[in-house]
Each structure stands twice: as C-alpha cells, then as structure tokens.
Amino acid sequence: EVQLVQSGAEVKKPGESLRISCTGSGYIFTTYWIAWVRQMPGAGLEWVGVIYPGDSETRSSPSFPGHVTISADKSISTAYLQWNSLKASDTAIYYCTRFVAEKDLKYVDLWGRGTLVTVSS
C-alpha cells in the first residue's frame, strides 16, 4: 500500500526544538517530492515547503522564511520538518504530502494523517 506515515502528536513549550517525521512506503521514495502543509486550528491549508529526497533539493514557502528546516534521509525513506525555537503560533496540524510535479501538472496526490504540534507554556 502506498502511504505516508507521520510521527505522533507533540506538546512543546515556546523556545523548545522539535523534529517531526514522515516515512514513505509502497513507492520509490526518491522519485517524488515531499511537501509539508500546515493547517492552523480552524483554518485552511498553507504550503510550508518541499524537498526532493533524491538529491535533497529544498524549497521553502516565502511565508516561512528560515523558521523551519526541511530535510530527508533517503536511506530510510523519511522526511523531516524541524524547528529550532518553537513559537505558540506554530501550533497546528502539519501534513506530510507527496507532491507530483510533471511538466504542466503540479498537485498533491497523497496525504499523511497529519502531526498535531501544540506549543504552549
């Protein structure tokens, strides 16, 4: 079965660091982009950034300049989203997704279940 399995919910304090993960299975992990999408409480979807596990090329959304780091370890088919210093405004569900980019077609064809990150003092 083709799927993206995300790490479990996290509760952190402001200023703490965090890394959440996403493991792909059932397909060749290095041949698709992995994108992270944020959904704040009661809000819509926002693009965080993408990584191509094949060569670790990364692109971040202009809305998240330098605040998060996206990485991947292709040897274990896993992508990561990392914060060095969390803020309360980082509280959200973070979805790991598989992003298709073929010529004129660009879309998300597979979603993980999401990781709830709660940042509170």
Partner 1 sequence: QSVLTQPPSVSGTPGQRVTVSCSGSTSNIGSNTVSWYQQLPGTAPKLLIYGNNQRPSGVPDRFSGSKSGTSASLAISGLQSEEEADYYCAAWDDSVNSPVFGGGTKLTVL
Comparison of 60 and 77: residue with beta carbon closer to partner 1: 60
User: Based on CB atoms, which residue is closest to partner 1, 28 or 107?
Assistant: 107
| Distance between CA atoms of residues 50 and 56, nearest Å | 9
- Cβ neighbours, 10 Å, residue 64: 16
Report the site for partner 1 in 20-39 (rule: CB under 8 A): 35
CA–CA dist 5, 24 (Å, integer): 6
Distances (CA, A) of 92 to 20, 43, 98: 13, 9, 19
- The reply to whether 44 sits near partner 1 by the rule CB under 8 A is yes
Q: Considering only 8-16, 44-52, 68-76, 81-89, which stretch makes contact with partner 1 by CB under 8 A?
A: 44-52
> What residues make contact with partner 1 under the rule CB under 8 A?
35, 44-47, 49-50, 59, 61-62, 95, 99-100, 104-114
